[in-house]
Amino acid sequence: MTEVTDVAEEFGRLYGYEPEGVWEAPGRVNLIGEHTDYNDGFVMPFALPHTAMAAFGRRTDSAVRVHSADIAGEPVVVADPVPGTSADWADYLVSVVWALRDAGHAVGGVDVHLASTVPTGAGLSSSAAIEVVVALALNDLFELGLERQQLASLCQRAENVYVGAPTGIMDQTASACCTSGHALFLDTRDLSQRQVPFDLASLGLRLLVVDTQVKHSHSEGEYGKRRAGCEAGAAELGVTALRDVPFASLPDSLDRLSSDEIRGLVRHIVTENHRVERVISLLDAGDVRGIGPVLVEGHASLRDDFRISCPELDLVVDSAVSAGALGARMTGGGFGGSAIVLVEEASADQVAKSVVEAFASRGLTEPRVFTAVPAAGARRVR
């Protein structure tokens, strides 16, 4: 856990003055609804206790100085953040300054020191956590008066335009809007939200996150190819987005598509939106154990139709289910990263052990396993 005082003190050491405040924003796991967010569909993430924490101080000019506890060396100075002036890791911070200014908000220069506990490249939204902590801090410091969903949308624009990753709205919204003890049901078309109680401990259940340690990145081509393929599918079917393809007419819609590749993408999105609706109904009915098989179906769809799993993610799901888990699936963008595993509390340790042993017996890097408890969204901590 990162201590607020450590982050504030390090800021003072770096910049020679006290920060005006410290904020933090969480990473997330997604319970169900994968790659639906750029198809106007449904998602259901919840926030992790892991956060990006950052201390801020306003400057008298318009420059941005950023420093990360994970990167050795002096702060990076960006005199005038505009897309195309890449400073690598610092892009996730300065892009948000750009997005706010580009939207007409009066945001001056800032000094920032960041310390994040969200694992990077693990499919747990480490980048969105950084974007959202910057947006929330600037909103407070410069008294912009923006709502959390507006901040999330500006962060998505920062990531799309400045960082160059064509991601949807789920991760930033999760980081900005999740609440402790709940999963967030989000309709990514109209951005309406519902906080759905998700307290597993009281039911004798646990949700494990298994980080395969296979690193992924969304700026690389495969994510964009899936997105373009979904858009091509929607165009072939004459709909605004794949959200508009009714589940009941899926077989007929699939017959009208031009290739097996697009058929797979469309089948995943349409069935995945349906799975989110099934999970919501099960949770509303109090049948949390009933979501297990839906998670497993979701994984098969991501593996076979959307083709974004990898052998390590499949191994987590197969070994966890064989060891008695109620359900499991990859979570996040895919091509590596993490899986989630729903287990009875009493068998959680045994299931985790079985997964770790399955990796060891194949000579794979040991996965990192932890329990995820739905945590709070972004907040000011000092």
Q: So which residues are the catalytic ones?
A: 171
Among the listed ranges 9-17, 34-42, 46-54, 107-115, the one in contact with ligand GAF (CB under 6 A) is 34-42
**Binding flag, residue 332, ligand GAF (CB under 6 A):** yes
Q: Would you state the structure tokens that stand for residue 124, as one six-digit string?
A: 């747990």
Among 8, 11, 31, 35, binds ligand GAF (CB under 6 A): 35
Contact 186, 43 (CB under 8 A): yes
Binding-residue pattern over the window 37 to 66 for ligand GAF, x denoting contact by CB under 6 A = xx----------------------------
**Binding flag, residue 327, ligand GAF (CB under 6 A):** no
**Annotated binding residue 68:** yes
**Annotated binding residue 281:** no
**Binding flag, residue 184, ligand GAF (CB under 6 A):** no
Contacts of 365 (CB under 8 A, 6+ apart): 212, 213, 359
The residue type of 170 is M
Residues 195-214 that bind ligand GAF (CB under 6 A): none
174-207 burial string, b = 16+ CB within 10 Å, else e?
Answer: bbbbbeebbbbbbebeeeeeebbebebeeeebbb
**Binding flag, residue 170, ligand GAF (CB under 6 A):** yes
Residue 89's alpha-carbon distances to 120, 129, 130, in angstroms, are 11, 13, 10
365-376 burial string, b = 16+ CB within 10 Å, else e?
Answer: eebebbebbbbb
Among 27, 168, 327, 336, binds ligand GAF (CB under 6 A): 168
**Annotated binding residue 258:** no
CB of residue 159 vs ligand GAF: minimum separation in angstroms?
8
* Residue with Cβ nearer ligand GAF (98 or 223): 223
List phi, psi (to 5°) of 157: -65, -40
- Can you say whether the dihedral through the CA atoms of 354, 356, 359, 363 is positive or negative? negative
**Binding flag, residue 273, ligand GAF (CB under 6 A):** no
- Cα–Cα distance measured from residue 225 to residue 263, given in angstroms and rounded to the nearest whole number: 14
Size of the site for ligand GAF (CB under 6 A): 12
* Residue with Cβ nearer ligand GAF (24 or 171): 171
**Annotated binding residue 85:** no
Among 50, 148, 218, 275, binds ligand GAF (CB under 6 A): 218
The three-state secondary structure class of 379 is strand
- Cα–Cα distance measured from residue 224 to residue 116, given in angstroms and rounded to the nearest whole number: 27
* Residue with Cβ nearer ligand GAF (24 or 272): 272
**Binding flag, residue 34, ligand GAF (CB under 6 A):** yes
* Residue with Cβ nearer ligand GAF (68 or 188): 188
Helical (H) or strand (E) element with 348: helix 348-361
Contacts of 352 (CB under 8 A, 6+ apart): 208, 210, 341, 369
Among the listed ranges 140-148, 168-176, 297-305, 352-360, the one in contact with ligand GAF (CB under 6 A) is 168-176
* Residue with Cβ nearer ligand GAF (91 or 171): 171
**Annotated binding residue 309:** no
The three-state secondary structure class of 108 is coil
Q: Would you state the structure tokens that stand for residue 373, as one six-digit string?
A: 């408890």
CB of residue 175 vs ligand GAF: minimum separation in angstroms?
11
Annotated binding site: 34-37, 68, 121-127, 159, 223
Annotated binding site for Mg(2+): 127, 159
**Residue ranges that bind ligand GAF, judged by CB under 6 A:** 30, 34-35, 37-38, 167-168, 170-171, 218, 332-333
